[in-house]
Amino acid sequence: MNASRRDRDAEGRAHNARPRDGLGRPLPYGTPGVARQPEGVLRIPAETVREAQRLLDAGMPFHAHEVFEDAWKSGPPAERELWRGLAQLAVGLTHSARGNATGGARLLRRGAGALEAYAHIGGVPEGVAPAAYGMDLGGLADWARELAARVEGDPSRAVDPAASAPRLRAGTDAAAG
């Protein structure tokens, strides 16, 4: 394949069709990869949270990020900061699992800040951990900052994305990461 030619979707927009591994890293053309998350899927918030948690539990935070990105891009403007923050948490976990401690920590902290900003915009008093669609945003922000500190404290230590994944909703079956 000509490396200068860009992949295009049916409408002619640039779209990378290279196969990817479980952490979203591009693989050479023709290499078997992990099935990609379909883009532009409209889900109700509960479905978004459920699908993202399934992917996080499977150790596929890059794919969970794509689910959150769909909600961020298609959801109501008032919720964009929520979904953007969650997407940043998933990408931060992705970078941390790939061994990029600096980028991972930066995105985890940025996502934590976005969730707190969303909670603040929503009129929740500072210091109160609000629930959005059953998610404890304060708890998720704490998880993100703790993981950021852990990956910065030992950048050579690999992060297991499934074992380190957050619980998006309190009281779900899988163990917290």
**Contact at 8 Å (CB) between 130 and 119?**
yes
Of 37 and 48, which is predicted with more confidence?
48
Task: Check residue 144 and give its pLDDT.
Answer: 98
Tokens of 9: 């979707």
**Contact at 8 Å (CB) between 160 and 97?**
yes
Regarding the domain delimited by 45-153, which CATH topology (the fold level of the hierarchy) does it fall under? Hyaluronidase domain-like (1.10.3450)
Secondary structure class of 126 (helix, strand, coil): coil
pLDDT of residue 161 exceeding 50: yes
What is the chain's Cα-based Rg? 17
* Angle 130-96-141 from CA coordinates, rounded to 5°: 10
- Predicted model pTM: 0.82
**Could you report the per-residue pLDDT of 80-91, keeping only the tens digit for each?**
999 999 999 999
**Contact at 8 Å (CB) between 47 and 74?**
no
Comma-separated ranges of CATH 1.10.3450.10 domains in the chain: 45-153
**Could you report the per-residue pLDDT of 103-159, keeping only the tens digit for each?**
999 999 999 999 998 877 655 555 544 578 889 899 999 999 999 999 999 988 889
DSSP state for residue 136 in the 8-state scheme: E
Confidence label for 33 from pLDDT (cuts 50, 70 and 90): confident
